[in-house]
């Protein structure tokens, strides 16, 4: 019998792997002469120890939810239980090939099926797709569903999407990419949809409305039933952006409020470490008239077996390879099982309690433009701080105190916005400490404004040119070409 050492040897490996099927022609004929090196690349020559120290030092510059509060409004940067990571690393899930025969993927399909059932019950809607891989991707799917629905009814003239000015920024982008034009609906002085402004826009060119629930001010539309009734009466559909479902999960269901499409951000509401662009899961639940149009394949159960159903003639097709970001679904499922129904209700209770606790404390120090009960987040304004101190200065000064700044300059309807979402997983001490730091910073703005204008002072870098950083990122090891 061969040992591992035998397999590691060249002759043995030659017999083990299939023949190489890449042409062995000279590189220049395959690549083009201009891409072939004439000299060896200049790669830094460092010892393993130096490299280990380099990356360890870099890792210590990072800040994440495991370091402290991360109050990034609208992003729900909450603590993610490590048990979810264990579940996502179970090799039967993590190593499963997406093309494996369904008979060998029954556990994974069962998980998707069961998670779908839970999401249906949470949303109060009859069908769900787990295929989208981000919230914005779910929105795009929702807009495609709107489009196909009206095409099927012979109402292709419905080309307009109504969008409150308090909507999340991805909403108008998704509507536009799907080929709709966007009409903005202004908010009233209470921070909710102005019903008169809505009535004026409703006609036979309207495909529907996209509502962010709660909106980006952290306020729930108190007239949501009236809004959805008016839109339905005018022949339109209602899209709910539910990325911040942590504010009402277990307490109210979008299906009962007139939603036709509702997207979850599994990577926010049901945990999963996120940031930096992924991975995400923007599951979409729909009302009865839209079920037929959902993407394929769909996970179905026949007797005791799970299958993938491709035979859905009215489906819009697939919007992503395979079944979306499967391991995010595993984390979400693990999270829901840990919490149970009571635990999910506690999520929304604590998210709302924490946000209101911080808002009440901070509104005596910073301006609060919409002073009313909030849901999971609230928006302060840096306007009126002394000595020309701006919201950006406050955000940068927070870094000196070792705290991640909140979302700033969004939503656009609040000048100098500071959008704070403490999340449900912060305790009282963390909230108090965050509030104390913001209060200290407000005192500094009056007494030592240079501390804010010059911030951050303790960070590895000072203020960067954000435009240059985004337009001309330097992503490689900085070697200068030798002349
Ligand atoms: C985060 C968020 C989105 C977008 O979700 P992504 O996964 O980042 O695409 C959409 N709407 C709201 C309200 C959000 O908070």
Task: Give, for ligand 1, the residue of 134, 168, 248 to mutate: max count of ligand atoms closer than 8 Å to Cβ.
Answer: 168
Nearest residue (CA) to ligand 1, atom 8? 135
Token digits for 294? 């959902």
Distance 43 CA to ligand 1 centre (A): 40
Nearest residue (CA) to ligand 1, atom 5? 135
Check if 375 has its Cβ closer than 6 Å to any atom of ligand 1: no
Closest CA to 353 of 275, 267, 251, 211: 251
Average pLDDT over residues 148-159: 97
Residue 268 C-beta-side C-alpha neighbours within 13 Å:
33
| H helices, E strands: number in the chain | 17, 12
For residues 193 and 206, give the distance between their C-alpha atoms in angstroms, rounded to a whole number. Answer: 17
- Give, as one character, the DSSP assignment of residue 482: P
For residues 360 and 210, give the distance between their C-alpha atoms in angstroms, rounded to a whole number. Answer: 30
For residues 241 and 170, give the distance between their C-alpha atoms in angstroms, rounded to a whole number. Answer: 10
Distance 136 CA to ligand 1 centre (A): 6
Give the pLDDT confidence score for residue 5 in this predicted structure.
Answer: 61
Check if 241 has its Cβ closer than 6 Å to any atom of ligand 1: yes
For residues 82 and 70, give the distance between their C-alpha atoms in angstroms, rounded to a whole number. Answer: 18
Please confirm whether the linkage preceding 411 is cis (ω < 30° from 0): yes
Long-range interactions of 409-414: CB distance < 8 A, separation 24+: 410/73, 410/74, 410/169, 410/216, 411/166, 411/216, 411/217, 411/379, 412/165, 413/165, 413/166, 413/187, 413/217, 414/217, 414/369, 414/370, 414/379, 414/381
Check if 265 has its Cβ closer than 6 Å to any atom of ligand 1: yes
Mean pLDDT estimate for the chain: 93
The residue written with tokens 């903005």 in the block is 184
- Give, as one character, the DSSP assignment of residue 72: B
Distance 101 CA to ligand 1 centre (A): 34
For residues 128 and 288, give the distance between their C-alpha atoms in angstroms, rounded to a whole number. Answer: 11
Question: Would the pLDDT of 483 be above 70?
Answer: no
Phi, psi of 130 (to 5 degrees): -100, 15
The helix, strand and coil proportions of the chain, stated in percent and rounded to the nearest 5, come to 40, 10, 45
Check if 170 has its Cβ closer than 6 Å to any atom of ligand 1: yes
CA-CA distances (angstroms) from residue 124 to 39, 241, 292, 335?
64, 15, 17, 20
Asked if 285 and 120 touch (Cβ cutoff 8 Å), the reply is: yes
Residue 137 CA, closest ligand 1 atom number? 9
Question: Would the pLDDT of 170 be above 70?
Answer: yes
Residue 167 CA, closest ligand 1 atom number? 13
Closest CA to 291 of 326, 241, 255: 255
Nearest residue (CA) to ligand 1, atom 3? 135
Check if 76 has its Cβ closer than 6 Å to any atom of ligand 1: no
Task: Give, for ligand 1, the residue of 135, 163, 376, 377 to mutate: max count of ligand atoms closer than 8 Å to Cβ.
Answer: 135
Tell me the per-residue pLDDT of 345-384, one tens digit each, with 9 for 90 and over. 999 999 999 999 999 999 999 999 999 999 999 999 999 9
Residue 278 CA, closest ligand 1 atom number? 7
Asked if 138 and 264 touch (Cβ cutoff 8 Å), the reply is: yes
Check if 134 has its Cβ closer than 6 Å to any atom of ligand 1: yes
Check if 243 has its Cβ closer than 6 Å to any atom of ligand 1: yes
Average pLDDT over residues 256-283: 90
Check if 425 has its Cβ closer than 6 Å to any atom of ligand 1: no
Residue 282 CA, closest ligand 1 atom number? 7
Nearest residue (CA) to ligand 1, atom 6? 135
Question: Where does the pLDDT of residue 454 fall: very low under 50, low under 70, confident under 90, or very high at 90 and above?
Answer: very high
Closest CA to 112 of 297, 299, 244, 273: 299
Distance 6 CA to ligand 1 centre (A): 52
Tell me the per-residue pLDDT of 387-445, one tens digit each, with 9 for 90 and over. 999 999 999 999 999 999 999 999 999 999 999 999 999 999 999 999 999 999 999 99
Distance 31 CA to ligand 1 centre (A): 41
Angle at 141 between CA 138 and CA 147, to 5 degrees: 145
Tell me the per-residue pLDDT of 76-128, one tens digit each, with 9 for 90 and over. 999 999 999 999 999 999 999 989 999 999 999 999 999 999 999 999 999 99
Asked if 208 and 179 touch (Cβ cutoff 8 Å), the reply is: no
| pTM of the predicted structure, to 2 decimals | 0.89
Asked if 116 and 295 touch (Cβ cutoff 8 Å), the reply is: no
Residue 38 C-beta-side C-alpha neighbours within 13 Å:
2
Check if 452 has its Cβ closer than 6 Å to any atom of ligand 1: no
Domains (ranges, CATH) in the chain?
Answer: 82-339 (3.40.640.10), 342-457 (3.90.1150.10)
Q: β-strand 284-286 against 127-129: which pairing, if any?
A: antiparallel
Give the pLDDT confidence score for residue 77 in this predicted structure.
Answer: 94
Nearest residue (CA) to ligand 1, atom 15? 74
């Amino acid at each position: 019998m061969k040992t591992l050492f035998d397999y590691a040897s060249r002759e043995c490996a030659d017999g083990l792997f299939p023949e190489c099927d890449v042409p062995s022609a000279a590189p220049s004929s395959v690549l083009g002469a201009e891409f072939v090196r004439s000299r060896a690349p200049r790669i830094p020559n460092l010892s393993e120890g130096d490299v280990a120290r380099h990356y360890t030092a870099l890792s210590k510059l990072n800040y994440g939810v495991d370091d402290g509060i991360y109050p990034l409004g609208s992003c729900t940067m909450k603590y993610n239980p490590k048990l979810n990571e264990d579940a996502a690393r179970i090799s039967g899930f993590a190593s499963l090939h997406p093309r494996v025969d369904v008979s060998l993927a029954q556990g994974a399909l069962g998980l998707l099926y069961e998670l779908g059932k839970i999401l249906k019950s949470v949303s109060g809607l009859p069908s769900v797709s787990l295929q989208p891989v981000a919230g914005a991707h779910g929105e795009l799917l929702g807009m495609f569903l709107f489009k196909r629905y009206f095409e099927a009814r012979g109402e292709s003239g419905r080309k307009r999407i109504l969008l409150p000015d308090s909507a999340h920024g991805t909403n108008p982008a998704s509507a536009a990419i799907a080929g709709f034009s966007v009409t903005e609906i202004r908010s009233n002085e209470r921070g909710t949809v102005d019903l008169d402004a809505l009535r004026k826009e409703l006609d036979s060119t309207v495909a529907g409305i996209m509502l962010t629930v709660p909106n980006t001010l952290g306020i729930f539309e108190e007239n949501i039933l009236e809004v959805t009734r008016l839109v339905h009466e005018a022949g339109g559909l209602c899209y709910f952006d539910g990325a911040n479902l942590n504010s009402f999960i277990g307490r109210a269901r979008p299906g009962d409020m007139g939603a036709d499409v509702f997207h979850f951000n599994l990577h926010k509401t049901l945990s999963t470490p996120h940031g930096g662009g992924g991975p995400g899961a923007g599951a979409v639940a729909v009302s009865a008239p839209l079920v037929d149009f959902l993407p394929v394949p769909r996970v179905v159960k026949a007797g005791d077996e799970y299958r993938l159903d491709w035979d859905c003639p009215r489906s819009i097709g697939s919007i992503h390879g395979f079944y979306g970001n499967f391991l995010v679904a595993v984390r979400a499922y693990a999270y829901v099982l840990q919490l149970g129904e009571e635990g999910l209700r506690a999520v929304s209770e604590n998210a709302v309690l924490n946000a209101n606790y911080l808002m009440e404390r901070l509104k005596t120090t910073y301006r609060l433009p919409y002073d009313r009960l909030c849901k999971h987040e609230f928006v302060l304004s840096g306007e009126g701080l002394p000595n020309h101190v701006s919201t950006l200065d406050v955000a940068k000064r927070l870094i000196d105190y070792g705290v991640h700044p909140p979302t700033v300059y969004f939503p656009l309807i609040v000048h100098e916005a500071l959008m704070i979402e403490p999340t449900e997983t912060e305790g009282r001490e963390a909230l108090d400490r965050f509030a104390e730091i913001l209060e200290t910073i407000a005192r500094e703005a009056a007494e030592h404004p240079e501390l804010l204008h010059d911030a951050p002072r303790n960070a590895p870098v000072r203020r960067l040119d954000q435009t240059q950083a985004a337009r001309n990122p330097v992503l490689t090891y900085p070697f200068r070409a030798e002349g």
